[in-house]
């Protein structure tokens, strides 16, 4: 007998939702739009050492550039949408109360919803990088990864570092996903959940730019959001990434606990 609200069933259900299909469609279109923009742009504008200057040097650099330009906004919005909309959508459809009388314990329902949201987010970033590699390979070939400050990485080493960079991006976005989950449960509106998470990221970025805060900026949730760029330095130092993971874990644990607490006490009326 199948258990109600299994992960497999819920993941397949979420994958068929229009918002998921539209989101994945945007991810598929983005590398094509960027490649077309490079083709229409000034061919003499490259030749520098920035990630944008090296984006057309091969598939690996193209995929790395797409990760860089999408990590702090597009992937933030998608991840907070997939996670923060998990409970409000059920409330909006009027099915949340029936799920809880299936019977499904509240903690289990929220856990499945959270895991499905995270899995969908992971699938989105894998799709973006994989499709970018294909588009970049067809457009620019399969040259080794060019490091901005000089040097190259072979295919295997470059793919490993890109995978580690993508994993770090997911970890750095977890606090905002947890915030979206909490706000979505408290307010029961998907738009409010995503908006609160994006607003928090914007405010954190503004505060991070204030030198007057000094070392206090290290406690901001996205202070270390670009620490993964250290992976592509000539002499990588993992210290910043380790600190970023630690702060992300702290914020995620606290905000997720608040979300579970709010859901346990919430009156389910729809």
Residue 213, helix vs strand vs coil? helix
Give per-residue pLDDT as tens, 200-214: 999 999 999 999 999
Average pLDDT taken over every residue of the chain: 87
The Cα–Cα gap between 46 and 141 comes to 17
The confidence score (pLDDT) of residue 168 equals 97
The Cα–Cα gap between 245 and 226 comes to 12
Cβ proximity of 19 and 85 under 8 Å: yes
Predicted TM-score (pTM) above 0.85: yes
The Cα–Cα gap between 265 and 134 comes to 47
The Cα–Cα gap between 46 and 56 comes to 9
Which residues are CB-neighbours of 125 under 8 A, at least 6 positions away?
67, 75, 166, 169, 170
Domain-by-domain residue ranges, the chain?
7-36+50-265
Which residue would you say has higher pLDDT here, 127 or 43? Answer: 127
Listed residue (269, 241, 72) closest to 168, CA to CA: 241
Tokens of 188: 């029961």
Residue for token digits 């990864």?
145
SS3 content of the chain, % helix, strand, coil (to 5): 75, 0, 25
Helix and strand counts by DSSP (H, E) for the chain: 11, 2
Which of 63-67, 120-124, 133-137, 152-156 bottoms out in mean pLDDT, i.e. has the lowest? 152-156
Which residue would you say has higher pLDDT here, 185 or 175? Answer: 175
Give per-residue pLDDT as tens, 5-28: 678 888 888 888 888 999 999 999
58 phi-psi bin (left φ>0, alpha ψ -120 to 50, beta other)? left
The confidence score (pLDDT) of residue 188 equals 60
Give per-residue pLDDT as tens, 232-251: 987 888 899 999 999 999 99
Residue 1 has pLDDT above 50, yes or no: no
CA-CA-CA-CA torsion for 194, 195, 197, 200, nearest 10 degrees?
Answer: 170
The Cα–Cα gap between 182 and 46 comes to 44
Cβ proximity of 83 and 177 under 8 Å: yes
Cα 24 to the center of its chain, rounded Å: 13
Residue 240, helix vs strand vs coil? helix
The confidence score (pLDDT) of residue 223 equals 94
Q: What single DSSP character describes residue 44?
A: T
**DSSP H or E segment with residue 145:** strand 145-146
The Cα–Cα gap between 142 and 157 comes to 14
Half-sphere exposure in the Cβ direction for 150 (13 Å, CA) = 1
Residue 61, helix vs strand vs coil? helix
Residue 225, helix vs strand vs coil? coil
């Amino acid at each position: 007998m199948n258990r109600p609200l299994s992960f497999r069933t819920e993941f397949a259900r979420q994958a068929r939702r229009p918002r998921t299909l539209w989101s994945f469609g945007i991810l598929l279109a983005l590398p094509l739009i960027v490649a077309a923009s490079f083709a229409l742009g000034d061919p003499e504008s490259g030749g520098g050492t920035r990630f944008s200057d090296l984006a057309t040097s091969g598939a690996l650099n193209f995929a790395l550039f797409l990760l860089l330009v999408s990590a702090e906004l597009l992937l933030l919005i998608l991840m907070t949408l997939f996670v923060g909309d998990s409970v409000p959508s059920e409330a909006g459809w009027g099915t949340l109360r029936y799920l809880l009388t299936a019977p499904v314990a509240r903690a289990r329902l929220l856990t499945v919803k959270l895991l499905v949201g995270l899995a969908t987010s992971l699938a989105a970033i894998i799709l973006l990088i994989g499709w970018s590699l294909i588009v970049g390979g067809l457009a620019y070939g399969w040259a080794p990864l060019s490091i901005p400050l000089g040097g190259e990485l072979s295919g295997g080493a470059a793919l490993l570092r890109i995978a580690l960079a993508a994993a770090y991006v997911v970890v750095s976005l977890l606090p905002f996903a947890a915030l979206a989950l909490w706000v979505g449960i408290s307010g029961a509106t998907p738009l409010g959940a995503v908006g609160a998470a994006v607003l928090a990221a914007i405010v954190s970025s503004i505060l991070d730019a204030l030198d007057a805060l000094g070392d206090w900026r290290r406690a901001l949730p996205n202070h270390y959001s670009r620490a993964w760029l250290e992976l592509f330095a000539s002499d990588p130092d993992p210290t910043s990434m380790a600190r970023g993971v630690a702060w992300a874990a702290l914020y995620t644990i606290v905000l997720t606990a608040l979300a579970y607490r709010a859901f346990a006490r919430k009156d389910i009326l729809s």
